[in-house]
Amino acid sequence: EVQLVESGGGLVQPGGSLRLSCAASGFTFSNFEMHWVRQVPGKGLEWVSTIDTIGDPYSPGSVKGRFTISRENAKNSLYLQMNNLRVGDTAVYYCARGMSGSYYYYMDVWGKGTTVTVSS
Amino acid sequence: DIQMTQSPSSVSASVGDRVTITCRASQDISSWLAWYQQKPGKAPKLLIYAESSLQSGVPSRFSGSGSGTDFTLTISSLQPEDFATYYCQQANSFPITFGQGTRLEIK
């Protein structure tokens, strides 16, 4: 069964750091681009980061310089290192798989999400 | 950045109704568009990609159309399990952007 399981969420103070992990199973992880998407409770979806199969990262300006996406293919794992966290980063963070080939911007498998709360 | 605007923000409908949700991109994205369904407390689910391609396992009552800047998601005959929030997403370029969502409620 294709599966993604996020972990590492929790409560952190503003300015603090957190590292999210996503464990993949049921598919050849190294062959797929991977994404992080977040959702503030009651709000819409926001793309956070993408990493391609050769390890090149992409992220929007809102998190660039603070969040770093990485992958460890030998461990079938995706990571999101989040530094200098802000109250506005409070959200559920989802790990998602990009579809194969040129369709990798589309996200066909999602984890259940992990909750990050930034508060003093 | 490409802005995605959905309409309506919410819609009420009954089981068996035909429903159409619209998504407009701020610039031409060809057919690089996806639709997702999300139920409360759950992760989004991919319904349609590349504007009109049905994801495996998704019922055929869901269909997508459009190109360029204007797109629609149509549910031909609403079923009880279809009441959820729907999001469009452009896949033309980074940064990936989503519409604000359309909440489909039971009338």
C-alpha span between B34 and A108 (Å, rounded)? 10
Q: Among A14, A3, A1, A10, which Cα is nearest to A97's?
A: A3
Average pLDDT over residues A93-119: 96
Q: What is the mean pLDDT of chain B?
A: 97
Contact A45 B36 (CB under 8 A): yes
> Position B101: which residue type?
G
State the nearest Cα–Cα gap between A63 and chain B, in angstroms. 12
Read off the pLDDT band of A102 (50, 70, 90): confident
pLDDT tens, residue by residue, A48-83: 999 999 999 999 999 999 999 999 999 999 999 999
Asked if residue B51 has pLDDT above 90, the reply is: yes
User: Where do the H-state alpha helices sit in A30-100?
Assistant: none
Q: For residue range B54-78, what is the model confidence (pLDDT) as tens digits?
A: 999 999 999 999 999 999 999 999 9
Q: What is the pLDDT of residues A15-38, one digit of tens each?
A: 999 999 999 999 999 999 999 999
Percent helix, strand and coil across chain A, each to the nearest 5 = 10, 50, 40
Q: Is the pLDDT of residue A101 over 90?
A: no
- In this complex, the residue of B34, B43, B50 whose CB is nearest that of residue A112 is B43
